[in-house]
Amino acid sequence: MSRTSYDRYLTVFSPEGRLYQVEYAFKAISGSGHTAISVRGKDTSVVIIQKKVADKLIDASTVTHLFSITPTIGCVMTGLIADARSQVARARVESTDFRFKYGYEITPDALARRLANLNQVYTQKAAMRPFGIAMILIGIDPELGPQVFKLDPAGYFVGFHASAAGQKQQEAMNHLEKKWKKLDNGRGTDDPIAAGQTLGRDEVIEIAIEAISTVHATDYKAGEIEIGITSSSELEDPKTRGKWRVMNEAEVEHHLLAYAEKD
């Protein structure tokens, strides 16, 4: 029997045990034309994504794939942007509920778990399609330090040292892995992961910029990429230390220049 008989039914297994609607939701992500990259280091997590302004007359300040969820947790979304907004709205409700119930801010992994459960439900129930988005969530865990979690339409989430989602997800992951392999040189450890955990704030930013530039073979200008960051580094302004924030264009410019010079 051909694949086609199963894939229109939202909650049905195919004879091979596959859930086609979930798989097609992944296509909605890779077909979205954006690549999001996230990197974490010693005290900092960043997300970076292209900022494509389709029409020149669009008010660029209203175009973003970065969303704040709590004062300390933010995310980058790839896929159907309308679905993204809906998931972000839900994430905010969940965070607020958590703070109200327990009296302290939700941690990044608790939030990721709750949203993942939500996504799973859409893959099991009739009458709703799964969300067509991938979400990379960053934040600083009071105990574990900087975090990066990626959620997918299937309701699966996992933490990363560095991750990517969207159109060039595979190329970006390859690049990051190669990068990590060479990371241990001169860091007093030959475990790349451990080495990764020594990365300072600016190194983390640089790696993210390098990754997106390399994968798309483009020298981005400040208005063409967005960078979200949470950092407890001393390099960070005390006012925003530990908080989620989106860099302004001047700051992006500064880091692009630093990367270009080094290059």
Give the footprint of its own copies on residues 213-242 (CB under 8 A): none
Q: Which stretch binds its own copies (CB under 8 A): 21-29, 43-51, 68-76, 230-238?
A: 21-29
7 binds its own copies (CB under 8 A): yes
Footprint of its own copies on 144-183 (CB under 8 A): 147-149, 154-163, 173, 176-177, 180
Minimum Å gap between C-beta 245 and its own copies is 19
Can you tell me whether residue 93 is helix, strand or coil? Answer: helix
Shortest Å distance, C-beta 34 to its own copies: 14
| Cα–Cα distance for residue pair 72/112, rounded to 1 Å | 14
Among 4, 101, 186, 250, binds its own copies (CB under 8 A): 4
20-45 core/surface letters (b: 16 or more CB in 10 A; e: else): bbbeebbebbbebebbbbbbbbbbbb
Beta carbon nearer to its own copies, 57 or 238: 57
Q: Binding to its own copies by residue 29, rule CB under 8 A?
A: yes
Give the whole-angstrom CA distance, residue 27 versus residue 133.
10
Whole-angstrom Cα distance, residue 127 to residue 129?
7
Site string for its own copies, 89-128 (x = CB under 8 A): x-------------------x---x--xx-xxx-xxxxxx
207 sits near its own copies (criterion: CB under 8 A): no
How many CB atoms sit inside 10 A of residue 133's CB?
27
Q: What are phi and psi of 145, to 5 degrees?
A: 80, -160
